[in-house]
A and B are shown apart, each in its own frame.
Chain A
Amino acid sequence: MNKSVFLGTLAVAGLAAGIASAQSTLEQVQSRGALNCGVTTGLTGFAAPDASGEWQGFDVAVCRAVAAAVLGDASAVEFVPTTGQTRFTALSSGEIDMLARNTTWTFSRDTDLAFEFVGVNYYDGQGFMAPRELGVSSALELDGATVCIQTGTTTELNLADFFASNNMSYEPVPIETNAEAQQQYLAGACDVYTTDASGLAATRATFEDPSAHVILPEIISKEPLGPLVRHGDNEWGDIVRWTLNGLIAAEEYGITSANVGELAAGTENPEVNRILGTEGDLGAMIGLDADWMQRAIAAVGNYGEIFEGNIGESTPIGLARGLNAQWTDGGLLYAPPFR
């Protein structure tokens, strides 16, 4: 009897699943009145709750922009903190609508895990940090070094690849979290610390004397980080993709959170008009109203503003734009045309 009850429950659950999935993600988000957005449990500059419990950060801004575009309210976001282990299940099971958790876009994640990376909001890469007194100026001089490395990440594999391909040896010091890594590195348990360059910069910024440590020039991996959604609902993926593209394009065309209201009255530039919905009907094509991008930009600012506010040179983290500059400034940010 127990078995039949179990099977019956499963059948009902399956049926309900069929009914529920008939509703698109956009409809679900709109009827719920809130966007469920997966973020990290805490990564400096990218996502962290402040003293009053408000989530702040570079990835958080993407969630807020999407919420502003879809729901008209940048605060209508339920942030779901996810760990490295739970993030993909949370997304594929439908617990969250999108994941903005500095996740590297890789082949297998895009295909095998059945996710859709909608773009790149930060081009990162793995680097090394060493005390200045160690006297190394290049990662190629690190033969025989002890290296602090977070276990179970792609950084571990990249490190092995880099040392093997350069015919060098190293001794790994496995650690669990970035905070622990800082302690180990400062205590001299390892010669160098390796993680994503943005993480290195954030870590170095917290040291008593940042100038006593150098970040070596070599970047040994490509880590394009971006927001992702589930396979199977392309309309929803389009909304997230073009919201991100809109933020990037807004910087290119000089639309800021300060002047968006003024520009929305109509400008000479037809591309700006199309982004802001005063010309054409791009919003309707993705199932939103004409002002969707206006609201997103007004809420969080354009890509450049988000960058400067959270991780840019005016913040303690002090990251330079580098690869994350607009293509017109020699970077990789290149939003497709709004047409």
Chain B
Amino acid sequence: MSEVHAQTVAYVRDTMLPEESPPITEAGAVKWLRDNLFSSWLNALLTIASLFIIYWVLSHILGWIVYGIWDADSLTECRAIRDSLYGEGANVACWAVLGDRWEQLLFGFYPPQVYWRPVAALLVFFLAVAPVMFQRAPKQLLYLTAAAPFLCYWLLWGGSIWGPVLVAAGFGIGYAVLKFATPVIGNLGGMIATVLVPLIYWVVLVGPLAGALDNILPIGIRSIASNQFGGFMLALVIGISGIVMSLPLGILLALGRQSDLFIINKFSVIFIEVIRGVPLIVWLFTASLLLNYFLPPGTSFDLMLRVIIMVTLFASAYMAEVIRGGLAALPRGQYEGADSLGLDYWQSMRLIILPQALKISIPGIVNTFIGLFKDTTLVVFIGLLDPIGLSNSIRATTDWNGIYWELFIFIGLCFFVCCFAMSRYSQFLERKLATDRR
């Protein structure tokens, strides 16, 4: 055989060639470029055109952003500095307005000496939601979660500590009634008493009791009125309160809409349709203007509280429909399975139906949260100074009149950070809970 070979072929390699890396056009960045950007002459053309557009946009914006001036006391000074640095009429940003007013944009008119309080409240909020949001967080934090609403309220508005403590005690009373009165007066009676007793306690007793306790043992921090709130803090307070309260309310409404009990069902349907069918701005005007005529003059039913209530109700109507979508997506067998296990209504909801329905609804729920958070900027129309409102006030001072994009960019960034974080968390949650269907 080898002889034949020797005659027909001049040379036979009898060792293996070492492995070589693929040609440069078939590997690495070049291959990626060829595959993705220059795979045909049309694609190449489009790529170049796109690159040019990106370059054109960036060349106009980047310089404006990067060369922006950070240290000045007014727009006029900004322009003087710019003229000396880059020559007359160069187009650069004047970020100095943020340096001058960032505290106002974040905290509104909150007294600067106590800026630590809203910051602390935000930290408490993060710690309080940690055990709810992440399984790895220590479970002891759940006690903080229960206390957080009252603690945050106290930190933000200040005043005597007894008010929040006594209001919180109302929930304890409600629990005690549920625990001890239900065996005596039966389920329905117990349920009604659980709602009524704390309500009566809150309305009748808390005020005088708090006053009395404050006289005996005055513990408190400086009280801050709602009209001092502003800026991004206002957006966060309204947004977070709305988010935290609208989820449970939305779940109840969604269950109510599916309920067989006539009154509860119709109430839920009417509530959802009416609240959802009217624009939020109309509800805000109702809260700020119409309610004033019904309340006796002189009663100051806090405007911010009114806004929070309206935003919460509005978001909960949306939330209810999102969750109803999740409930409807569950196969009938899940409900029947729960029944066949002998679970009562609340048990089956808590253990079988809602965990699945909520999991399906996560993208919709977070979508509603993000929408609600951004909708807080609408309060500018009723004269509350949220970031957008403050940007208007800042432009109204002679120092900064004429500033435009810088403020909007800063506000936009703040909102983006919050909304993007919410979006990432929802994706994390979806991946974590993806136990089936994959």
Contact = CB atoms under 8 A, between A and B. Distances in A.
Interface of A: 10, 13-14, 16-17, 19-21, 23, 28, 40-45, 47-53, 56, 78, 80-83, 85-86, 89-90, 93-95, 177-179, 182-183, 202-203, 205-208, 315-317
B99 to A, nearest CB: 10
Contacts of B89: 208
Interface string B395-420: 11110011010000000000000000
Contacts of B393: 41-42, 48-49, 81
B43 interface: no
25 contacts: A13-B294, A13-B296, A16-B299, A20-B297, A40-B396, A41-B385, A41-B396, A42-B392, A43-B396, A48-B393, A48-B396, A53-B109, A80-B227, A80-B383, A82-B383, A83-B381, A85-B285, A85-B381, A86-B382, A95-B300, A182-B402, A203-B401, A205-B401, A206-B402, A316-B401
Nearest to A12: B296
Given A82-B383, A85-B381, 6 more contacts: A83-B383, A86-B289, A89-B289, A93-B292, A94-B297, A206-B75
Nearest to A18: B296
B324 interface: no
Contacts of B402: 182, 206-207
Task: Sort A-B residue pairs by CB-CB distance and give the 6 closest, nearest first.
Answer: A206-B402, A42-B396, A94-B297, A93-B292, A42-B393, A48-B396
Interface string B85-102: 000010000000000110
Given A78-B227, A182-B404, A315-B398, A13 B298 contact: no
A51 B296 contact: no
Interface string B46-82: 0000000000000000000000000000011001000
A316 B398 contact: yes
The secondary structure that dominates the A interface is: mixed
Contacts of A52: 112
B312 interface: no
Contact of A51 (B100, B297, B384): B100
A90 B299 CA distance: 13
Nearest to A316: B398
A41 B392 contact: yes
Nearest to A81: B383
Nearest to B228: A53
A205 to B, nearest CB: 7
B392 A21 contact: no
B403 to A, nearest CB: 8
Contacts of B401: 44, 202-203, 205-206, 316
A143 B226 CA distance: 50
Contacts of B389: 41, 81
Nearest to A83: B383
A205 B384 CA distance: 28
Given A16-B299, A208-B79, A45 B100 contact: no
Most central of B79, B108, B300, B393 by chain A CB within 10 Å: B393
A10 B295 CA distance: 8
A86 B306 CA distance: 15
Contacts of A45: 398
A42 B394 contact: yes
Contacts of B289: 86, 89, 93
A82 B385 CA distance: 10
Nearest to B74: A316
A141 B232 CA distance: 47
A189 to B, nearest CB: 14
A14 B300 CA distance: 15
Nearest to B408: A179
B104 A13 contact: no
B90 to A, nearest CB: 11
Contacts of B227: 78, 80
B293 interface: yes
Contact of B404 (A86, A94, A179): A179
A57 B392 CA distance: 15
Nearest to B405: A183
B288 interface: yes
Nearest to A95: B292
Contacts of A43: 396
Contacts of B288: 86, 89
A124 B389 CA distance: 25
Q: Name which of A19, A42, A202, A206 has the most chain B CB atoms within 10 A of its CB.
A: A42
B79 A177 contact: no
A179 B295 contact: no
